[in-house]
């Protein structure tokens, strides 16, 4: 059976605890993928280190990390077989570039490829409050086929810790990406 190839884009928005938990969960399931590619914006790498206290390069040695200015990678082209891009957290600047087709870095170019090839694009926005431009950009990418999944935790499962709260978002993202995590409250139906 063919394994999947996915891309995770991590921008400079606050909320890197979501990205960290998603990467930790994907690490558990790494044998189910041919490749898990990760792209950081320059600010994203700094914010990840600052908010999580972990060095991304040292922690996630099983992931392939790409420079956000490198357009010479397979998933920058529609001919690649990468099927999903998850941008987590997604800054409003990255959202604006995606919504307006301004593919000036690898994350926005990969998003452009996912949209034009009718593949899965999930953006986990992390901003509040929203202005009209943010809302219109969310509308644009939704109409183009993307999924906007705001980092809005749920409380159906009565989370007890910050990690429990974070999991309510990342488990939803995994479900949207059709990545089966048997430990997920969503897949077990507990949080409904």
CATH number at residue 153: 3.40.50.1950
Domain that holds residue 139: 4-188
Query: pTM here?
Result: 0.93
Strands (E) located in the chain: 4-10, 33-40, 64-67, 84-90, 120-125, 147-148
- Torsion-angle region of residue 161: left (phi > 0), alpha (psi -120 to 50) or beta? beta
The secondary element (H helix, E strand) that includes residue 143 is: helix 132-143
Nearest-angstrom CA–CA distance, 37 and 35: 6
The secondary element (H helix, E strand) that includes residue 139 is: helix 132-143
Q: How many domains does the chain have?
A: 1
Per-residue pLDDT tens, the chain, 192 aa: give them: 678 999 999 999 999 999 999 999 998 888 889 999 999 999 999 999 999 998 776 777 778 999 999 999 999 999 999 999 999 999 999 999 999 999 999 999 999 999 999 999 999 999 999 999 999 999 999 999 999 999 999 999 999 999 999 999 999 999 999 997 665 554 434 443
């Amino acid at each position: 059976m063919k394994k999947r190839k996915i891309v995770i884009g991590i921008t400079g928005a606050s909320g890197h605890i979501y990205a960290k938990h998603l990467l930790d969960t994907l690490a558990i399931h790494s044998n189910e993928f041919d490749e898990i590619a990760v792209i950081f914006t320059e600010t994203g790498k700094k914010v990840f280190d600052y908010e999580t206290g972990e060095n991304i390069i040292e922690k996630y040695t099983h992931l392939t990390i790409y420079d956000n200015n490198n357009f010479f990678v397979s998933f920058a082209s529609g001919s690649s077989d990468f099927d999903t891009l998850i941008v987590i957290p997604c800054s409003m600047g990255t959202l604006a570039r995606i919504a307006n087709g301004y593919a000036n870095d690898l994350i926005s170019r990969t998003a452009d490829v996912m949209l034009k090839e009718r593949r899965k694009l999930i953006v986990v926005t992390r901003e509040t409050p929203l202005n009209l431009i943010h809302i219109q950009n969310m509308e644009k990418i939704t109409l183009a086929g993307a999924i906007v999944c705001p980092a809005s935790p749920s409380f159906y499962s009565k989370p007890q810790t910050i990690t429990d709260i974070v999991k309510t978002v990342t488990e939803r993202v995994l479900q949207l990406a059709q990545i089966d995590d048997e430990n997920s409250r969503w897949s077990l139906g507990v949080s409904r």
